[in-house]
Structure 1
């Protein structure tokens, strides 16, 4: 069984009055990978979800905290998936498309203040298709 390695548990601040976010990578027994985002108080603030069976990714924004979640999936220097909750409520549309089996990809999250370009990119997770 493949496991997700934590590349980092990144933390960042958009500006002095913004919350601090950090992430935690998880590989679930269902085979899914999650890059879960928490604020400085430990509240679940969002996640990127990658499902190898179907090669699909989704961003989730469970809180009305003024931030939206954008999830990314990269291979090398090329972005192969991107989806956002901006304009979609709690769940983004699924970003899909066939990927080669048993390849490693890097999944990461941006937390962006609604109505601005101000946000923070967080460390991410390695996932396997």
Structure 2
């Protein structure tokens, strides 16, 4: 076996191990038990802000928001249902309502370079059920 083939096989095994490790740590192993939810996003505003709403049984139970004026990432939990809301920005910034009584809002603000594009997503879940997450949505600073 050539060295380059061995290196490729090793890379595939390493990538698989990382994927499995990430899936387990993010709760994907419990995905079947994750709460059912629907996600709806408002159109991105002219300043780059956006809101992603989480609905369960037809009712809004929380949201993730990017507020461009102030570079604020927000998680909002509107329902005392045992689930928390997480909002994640592509910079690695994340915020959640875990351990907070509903209704609650948790913000993480920090200055970012102006007029840059990012993505964000939101999740609902808890430690025992796993997380159910939206797709990625564009935002701007």
Query: What range describes the TM-score normalised by the shorter chain of this pair?
Result: 0.7 to 0.9
Instruction: Provide Cα deviations, 1:67-88, integer angstroms capped at 9, x if missing partner.
Output: 100110004xxx1x21110112
The answer to whether the 8 Å contact 2:35/2:124 transfers is no
- CA RMSD after TM alignment: 2.3
Instruction: Provide Cα deviations, 1:37-56, integer angstroms capped at 9, x if missing partner.
Output: 112x2110211011101001
Q: Where does residue 52 of structure 1 map in the other structure? A: 68
- Report the TM-score when normalising by structure 2: 0.67
1:27 deviates by: 3.6
Q: Does residue 137 of structure 2 align to residue 125 of structure 1? A: yes
Q: Where does residue 9 of structure 1 map in the other structure? A: none
- Report the TM-score when normalising by structure 1: 0.73
Q: Which runs of 4+ in 1 moved over 6 A?
A: none
Q: Distance between the aligned counterparts of 1:97 and 1:28, measured in 2?
A: 20
Q: Where does residue 6 of structure 2 map in the other structure? A: none
Correspondence list, 1:1-129, <5 A: 14-15=31-32, 19-27=35-43, 31=47, 32-39=49-56, 41-75=57-91, 79=92, 81-89=93-101, 90-113=103-126, 115-116=127-128, 118-129=130-141
Q: Report how many residues are paired.
A: 110
Residue 20 of structure 1 aligns to a residue whose secondary structure is coil
1:29 deviates by: 5.9
Greater gyration radius: 2
Unaligned runs of 5+ in 1: 1-12
Q: Distance between the aligned counterparts of 1:51 and 1:128, measured in 2?
A: 9
Q: Distance between the aligned counterparts of 1:48 and 1:38, measured in 2?
A: 12
